[in-house]
Amino acid sequence: MDLTPYRPRDATSAAVRDAIAATRAATAPCLARVDEAKEQRDALLLDGTPKQVDAATTTLRAVHDEAEQLEAISDQLEARLAVALKEETCNAVVAALAKVGAGNERANTFWATHGPTLTALMTESDQIARELLSAWYLVKSTRKRASEKYGDDPRVGGDSGVASLDPAVEKWQRLFKNALAPG
């Protein structure tokens, strides 16, 4: 029996699976040949010559040995598949860890280079936004009280451009909040 079709071309799980598929495809016809050889031998046991019985027995042994070899090959391939899958999984973990290490190194380099500047900018940005928001709330509350008493004065009731600051401050706050948000 030529065992080449049942041997994996390499140690990868894909190659081992291909060999398993080839072994399984060969097993069913081989078992059919075993049954056929047994029937032929059994039919000759009572009426055949000793030479015919020996020839039929030799054929039965040969196909039986081939079926046994295919079963043994299948068991060996299943064991190799488990090893290949373990190896590939472990290698995938090692590769992922290498990516994390490279990303961590990149982040550390970036932070070492730009961290102090970013920290200062974010701190200043937060301070400006807080001051602006505080001033905006002061304007709103003061304007409300003033408009109740002096609503006819255009400086109190009119829009002097301050209203357009509200969306800008909110956008600034969102940007700052998102910059510090985890994930």
Distance of CA 88 to the CA centre of its chain: 13
Of the pLDDT bands very low, low, confident and very high (cuts 50, 70, 90), residue 16 is very high
> Which pLDDT score, from 0 to 100, does residue 144 have?
81
pTM of the predicted model, to two decimals? 0.58
* pLDDT tens by residue, 36-93: 999 999 999 999 999 999 999 999 999 999 999 999 999 999 999 999 999 999 999 9
The two three-digit tokens of residue 151, written as one number: 């609503």
Q: What is the dihedral of CA 114, 115, 120, 125, to 10 degrees?
A: 90
